[in-house]
């Protein structure tokens, strides 16, 4: 794809750049890119900028087509993209959510410290790898089918807790309490259900992981205390989504939306932006199926939480409760949700697409769990397996500027193929071991895709969000154990 808009990026300040409406014919709103000067320079030849401009041409878009500092090329929407659409005349786009519906992250606290792991690191890594199936074709411990699978698609993490895969309190610190209303399993195809039937409790491949991490540095003592974290503390950070079920839901509806857009006369600059009006039959059916897939993802992360607690119990010979293994927070970063935001000074309901972007609501927002009301919503930002991740908190600026959104991770700077070529012949497992990071991976041949050099430095990404006032840094986390597909 030839980039035609990058030269028109205009600096607004040290962390915001504007893509004017005239950058691409048909733009209804400008593009706003969150980046520092170095990131903006790297975007000069990045086709993701074309995607920011393309999204600005979609009907009913509100305020701006947004890109977070972890922006990189995706399907239709750039990954790191945020866009909100009026319910009255706006659209929903499957590519604005992505293939891995409700790919998201969760952090589990513990009362352990780094010294507690010194003698048992390898054993804990083995136990986690055994209990949390990983890899492209990974299957969970039990196949779910028929009415049971439909119940999962309706109940999400709540179903998992009711079936012994967690604690009722887990739901209190989960976005949407772990299940979106309005899910319709009947709109999830038989093929999608077949793909998801055996995958509950499995990690998948690519950038999905379970990591045991230590809190390395605290930046905000007050908020860290509210979140129950402190320097030296061990936490478990996990990242996965709806697996094959969500992928198939997206695949199924891309065709449906392409047809709907043509019938509606919507002119698309890129067929990957296949969309339907929100209030259309196709739009409503996609949202109901998407919510069902999102619920499967929440159930999946809940089942993995249960397995992680089991691994720690086996190694430390203490109950998960005694180890303080409560859920700090769980948040989606591939999703579309009806939310209330300001548009021209008026509070309106819009459909917010977050494609590789994390919700970041500030203190006292009604959707922030009561225990965090005075602090704000926890924001979980994974980095790469060789450096660090961040715990942040939602800030007021996010509500003013980004529909309550911020970045979701480091963001790729190399394609998977390019990363594999660069890492050919490199023993990443040994290199990470030398840095004090123990890795368990299903397929070593693919580990190069996830090398640190393939990603932006998440510290720089988070710094932009902090300076822009859309999320504030709370703590930095360093990996000790990494389990991947």
SS3 content of the chain, % helix, strand, coil (to 5): 40, 25, 35
- CB-CB contact of 223 with 378 (8 Å): no
Strand partners, 237: 107, 211
Task: List the structure tokens of 148.
Answer: 């049971």
- CB-CB contact of 237 with 105 (8 Å): yes
How far is residue 159's CA from residue 200's CA, in Å, rounded to a whole number? 12
68: closest CA among 33, 36, 95? 33
Give the angle 198-201-207 at the CA atoms, nearest 5°.
Answer: 105
Helix residue spans in 265-374 (DSSP H): 281-316
Question: Is 408 in the active site?
Answer: yes
DSSP string, 337-355: EEEEEEETTEEEEEEEEEE
Q: Where do we find the tokens 């979980």?
A: 380
Select which of 163, 353, 408, 417 is catalytic.
408
How far is residue 82's CA from residue 353's CA, in Å, rounded to a whole number? 6
SS3 for 211?
Answer: strand
Strand partners, 275: 93
Strand partners, 32: 18, 66
> What letter does residue 148 receive in the DSSP assignment?
H
438: closest CA among 29, 123, 97, 28? 123
Count CB neighbours of 96 within 10 A: 27
How far is residue 183's CA from residue 477's CA, in Å, rounded to a whole number? 35
Phi-psi region of 73 (alpha: psi -120 to 50; beta: other; left: phi over 0): beta
Give the side-chain half-sphere CA count within 13 A for 390. 27
Q: Supply the residues annotated as catalytic.
A: 408
């Amino acid at each position: 794809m030839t980039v035609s808009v990058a030269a028109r990026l205009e600096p607004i300040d040290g962390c915001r750049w504007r893509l004017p409406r005239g950058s691409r014919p048909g733009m209804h709103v400008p593009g706003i890119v969150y980046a520092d000067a170095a990131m903006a320079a790297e975007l000069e030849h990045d086709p993701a900028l074309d995607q920011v401009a393309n999204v600005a041409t979609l009907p009913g878009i509100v305020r701006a087509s947004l890109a977070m500092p972890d922006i990189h090329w995706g399907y239709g929407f750039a990954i790191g993209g945020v866009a909100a659409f009026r319910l009255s005349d706006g659209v929903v786009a499957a590519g604005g959510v992505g293939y891995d519906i409700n790919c998201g992250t969760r952090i589990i606290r513990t009362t352990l410290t780094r010294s507690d792991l010194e003698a048992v690191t390898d054993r804990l890594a083995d136990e986690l790898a055994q209990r949390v199936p990983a890899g492209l074709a990974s299957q969970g411990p039990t196949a779910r089918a028929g009415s049971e699978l439909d119940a999962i698609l309706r109940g999400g993490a709540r179903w998992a807790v009711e079936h012994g895969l967690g604690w009722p309190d887990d739901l209190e610190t989960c976005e949407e309490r772990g299940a979106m209303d309005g899910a319709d399993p009947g709109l999830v195809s038989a093929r999608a259900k077949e793909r998801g039937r055996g995958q509950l409790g499995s990690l998948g491949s690519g950038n999905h992981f379970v990591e045991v991490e230590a809190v390395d540095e605290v930046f905000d003592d007050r908020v860290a205390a509210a979140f129950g974290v402190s320097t030296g503390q061990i936490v478990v950070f996990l990242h996965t989504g709806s697996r094959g079920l969500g992928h198939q839901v997206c695949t199924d509806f891309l065709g449906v939306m392409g047809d709907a857009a043509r019938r509606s006369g919507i002119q698309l600059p890129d067929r990957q932006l296949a969309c339907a009006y929100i209030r259309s039959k196709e739009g409503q059916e996609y949202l109901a199926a998407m919510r069902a897939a999102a619920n499967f993802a929440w159930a999946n992360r809940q089942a993995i939480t249960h397995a992680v607690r089991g691994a720690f119990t086996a190694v430390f010979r203490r109950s998960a409760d005694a180890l303080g293994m409560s859920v700090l927070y769980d948040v989606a970063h591939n999703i579309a949700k009806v939310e209330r935001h300001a548009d021209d000074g008026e509070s309106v309901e819009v459909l917010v697409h977050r494609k590789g972007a994390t919700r970041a609501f500030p203190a006292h927002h009604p959707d922030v769990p009561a225990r965090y009301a005075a602090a704000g919503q926890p924001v979980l930002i994974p980095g790469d397996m060789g450096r660090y991740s961040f715990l942040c908190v939602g800030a007021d600026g996010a509500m003013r500027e980004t529909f309550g959104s911020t970045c979701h991770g480091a963001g790729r700077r190399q394609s998977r193929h390019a990363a594999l070529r660069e890492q050919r012949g490199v023993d990443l497992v040994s290199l990470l071991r030398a840095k004090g990071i123990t890795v368990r991976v299903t397929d070593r041949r693919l580990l190069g895709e996830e090398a640190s050099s393939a990603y932006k430095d998440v510290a720089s990404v988070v710094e932009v969000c902090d300076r822009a006032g859309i999320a504030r840094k709370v703590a930095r986390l360093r990996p000790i154990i990494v389990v991947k597909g």
